[in-house]
Each structure stands twice: as C-alpha cells, then as structure tokens.
Amino acid sequence: MAAKPNIDDLSFSELEELNQQTQDRMKAMRELDLLKLLEEVTQLVKDRNFSLEEVFGVKTLKKVGKRVSKQKYKNPENGSQTWSGVGRTPNWLKKLEDEGRNRGEFLISTNEKK
C-alpha cells in the first residue's frame, strides 16, 4: 500500500481536489469490481449448465452492470489525472479552461490509450 499523503498542510481547494480525485477513483474501482463480479457470476451460471435467462431473466448480465467509460482527457501536468468526458468536469480541467486553454488540447490520442 502506498504511503498516506500528509493532508495537514493542504489548502481547502487542494483538499477539495484530492477529495474529488478520491471519489472518482473509488467510483471507477467499484465499477471495475462490479464488472468482474458479473463475469464471475456469468461463468458460474454457465458452469452449472444454466442459462442467464433461466437464473436472472436476462440474456446477458452486462445489461445489469454499468459500463466503464474510456478515459478521454489527460491532465498535462499530472498524467495520472484523467477524465472520461462523462459527468462532472474535474477541477484540473476547469482550471486549465479558466486559463483560456481549449479542452481539445488534453484529448488522449489513440496511441496513448493502448
């Protein structure tokens, strides 16, 4: 596990940004966990010679789970900060746009996504 950051010296706006990053990361991890669980349940149902329709009334469990969005934008100052373009605009992107920068500058190229 990584070392815990020292938050005592952070400003309110830095704490807000850290909180948003934490919430975004937790949401993404939960969505990934859900997708893994759905794959496991699907395999278990098949291994027991049932169909998903017999057990759940659906042909695929992926309809039940949320889809994880591909990341579309990346912070040029911190490559670990990305955004899918869905939901609330992250603080780092708002700040750059307030400085007059264009959102298109931060698009992740198809080569980077691989």
CA dist 99 and 114 (Å) reads: 30
Determine the average pLDDT of the residues in 67-87. Answer: 84
Burial class (CB in 10 A: 0-12, 13-18, 19+), 20: middle
What is the tens place of the pLDDT at every residue in 5-29? 788 989 999 899 889 989 988 998 9
Of 100, 34, 27, 81, nearest to 61 (Cα)? 34
What is the tens place of the pLDDT at every residue in 35-76? 889 889 989 988 999 888 888 887 776 655 455 568 888 999
Determine the average pLDDT of the residues in 89-106. Answer: 92
